[in-house]
Chain A
Amino acid sequence: SQQGEEDPQALSIQEGENATMNCSYKTSINNLQWYRQNSGRGLVHLILIRSNEREKHSGRLRVTLDTSKKSSSLLITASRAADTASYFCATSRMDSSYKLIFGSGTRLLVRP
């Protein structure tokens, strides 16, 4: 069953612009993670945010978490062509921390 759902499904922006992706989930969680996947390759971990955190930064990445709305957003600032990839959120339910559930992803295209 899908726990996380990303929005939009696809996003096309110009290099230098900011990209925002959203993730909504259904049940209470302890943590939420964001991953990146370059075309057909293995996923790479970007950032983990805990349920008691509201915002977290890592370089050009900013992640927010709103547990009351069951949603998270990933902001990539000053995007580069190399940021072109698919981005996934992943959560585990509070009652099942061993199972990780991924959303369907947002495909980001950064045009040079």
Chain B
Amino acid sequence: EAQVTQNPRYLITVTGKKLTVTCSQNMNHEYMSWYRQDPGLGLRQIYYSMNVEVTDKGDVPEGYKVSRKEKRNFPLILESPSPNQTSLYFCASSAWRMAGADTQYFGPGTRLTVL
């Protein structure tokens, strides 16, 4: 089944404890991205990747890191999480790198709470 998977689905952590949220897609998609969703703010793009080893900042990249060493994986790293990073996170992918012109396939989401 074609899908985007994220792990973990739920995570409660404490300020400053490094964490990684994994994202994997099995559709051989070029483009992958991370979003955070907060009440009243919709989805805001954190980082995106147009292909292996090619990443760029979205609108809210501060406090996050990403890497794209393999085409299928795009992990989101929080080196020193803070409470303002408490949010619902989504990974998405599309076949074509021009995200605006292609269907985005979303993962199920990761609900992160930073205490």
Q: In the complex, are the beta carbons of B104 and A45 less than 8 A apart?
A: yes
Does B48 belong to the interface (CB within 8 Å)? yes
A89 to B97, CA, bound (A): 19
User: Which 3 residue pairs spanning A and B have beta carbons closest together?
Assistant: A92-B100, A42-B106, A104-B42
A61 interfacial contact with B, CB 8 Å:
no
Q: Cβ of A100 and Cβ of B45 under 8 Å apart?
A: yes
User: B82-115 CB contact bits vs A (8 Å, 1 = yes)?
Assistant: 0000001010100001111111111111010000
Question: Could you list which residues of chain B lie within 8 angstroms of chain A, going by C-beta atoms?
Answer: 4, 31, 33, 35, 40-45, 48, 50, 56, 58-59, 88, 90, 92, 97-109, 111
Contact check, A88 vs B42: say whether CB atoms are below 8 A apart: yes
Which residue numbers of A lie inside 8 Å of B, CB to CB?
1-2, 29-31, 33, 35, 40-45, 48, 50, 88, 90-92, 97-105
Give min CB distance, A53 to chain B, whole Å. Answer: 13
Give bound CA distance, A30 to B12, whole Å: 40
Q: Let me know if B109 and A40 touch, CB within 8 A.
A: yes
Of the residues A35, A44, A45, A91, contact of B100 by C-beta under 8 Å = A91
Q: How far, in whole Å, are A96 and B90 apart by their CA atoms in the complex? A: 21
B residues in contact with A88, CB < 8 Å:
42-43
B56 CB to nearest chain A CB (Å): 7
Could you tell me if A99 and B108 are in contact, using CB atoms closer than 8 angstroms? no
**Chain A contacts of B97 at CB under 8 A?**
98
Interchain CA distance A20-B88 in the complex, whole Å: 27
What 4 new A-B contacts, CB under 8 Å, besides A43-B92, A99-B48, A99-B59? A42-B109, A99-B45, A100-B33, A104-B41
| B42 and A2 within 8 A (CB) | yes
Query: Which chain A residue has the least Cβ–Cβ distance from B6?
Result: A42
B108 / chain A contacts, CB cutoff of 8 Å: 41-42
Inter-chain contact B42/A31, CB cutoff 8 Å: no
Report the nearest B residue to A100, measured CB to CB: B99
